[in-house]
Structure formats: structure tokens, C-alpha cells
């Protein structure tokens, strides 16, 4: 015997009505954007919306512009640096040895 739930398997808003039920869709503007790898992306915007200068390429993630011949440059990515690499940028080896000698002297004096 089937259960008494008549709306099982359906969702809110589901139905055969389509556009007539939801109303008219807003007028759209479809523009092309190109990235430095030559990928074309065509997002659609509302006709009265402000169009951005760049759009992220869904294939490679680089920024894409509307000028096919002159796309935006890809962002420069810095390699990962360890904490020690940052310390070495701020201090020379002589500074590091002086700080180490000062800390060892302090420890030896307290012990």
C-alpha cells in the first residue's frame, strides 16, 4: 500500500508552467572576455548592470578582458617562503650571530 504523501518526490516551484509562472526574465547582454591563454568566456549580464573590466577565466583562473588582442596580464605569484626566509631578508648573518650570542650570554648568566 502506498504512503499517503501526495507531494513526495517533487519540489517547491516544480511544474509545467515555465516562464508563464515565473514571469518574464530580465533583458540580458552577453559579452566575450579573453584571457592571456586565449580562452573565451561569455558571461551574461543584465542589460542595465555595470559591466566589470575583467572577468575570471573559468578554465585557467587568469583575468580576462574584453579586448581579444590585448588581454590582461596574468597575476605574478610569489613562491612560498618559510619563516626563516623572511628572517634572512630582515637580518644579515652577522646580526643573527650577535642576537644568538646575546641570548646565550643571558642564559648562561641566569643558570
**Cell numbers that stand for 10 in this block:** 517533487
Distance between CA atoms of 82 and 80, rounded to whole angstroms? 7
CA angle, 28 then 30 then 33, to 5°: 150
Query: Annotated binding residue at 57?
Result: yes
| 35 assigned ligand-binding residue | yes
Q: Which three three-digit cell numbers place residue 89?
A: 631578508
Which parts are annotated binding residues? 35, 39, 57, 60
Which parts are annotated binding residues for Zn(2+)? 35, 39, 57, 60
Amino acid at each position: 500500500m502506498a504512503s499517503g504523501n501526495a507531494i513526495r518526490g517533487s519540489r517547491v516551484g516544480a511544474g509545467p508552467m515555465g516562464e508563464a509562472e515565473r514571469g518574464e526574465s530580465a533583458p540580458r547582454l552577453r559579452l566575450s572576455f579573453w584571457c592571456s591563454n586565449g580562452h573565451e568566456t561569455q558571461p551574461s549580464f543584465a542589460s542595465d548592470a555595470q559591466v566589470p573590466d575583467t572577468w575570471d577565466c573559468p578554465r585557467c583562473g587568469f583575468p580576462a578582458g574584453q579586448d581579444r588582442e590585448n588581454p590582461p596580464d596574468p597575476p605574478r605569484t610569489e613562491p612560498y617562503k618559510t619563516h626563516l626566509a623572511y628572517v634572512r631578508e630582515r637580518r644579515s648573518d652577522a646580526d643573527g650571530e650577535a642576537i644568538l650570542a646575546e641570548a646565550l650570554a643571558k642564559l648562561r648568566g641566569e643558570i
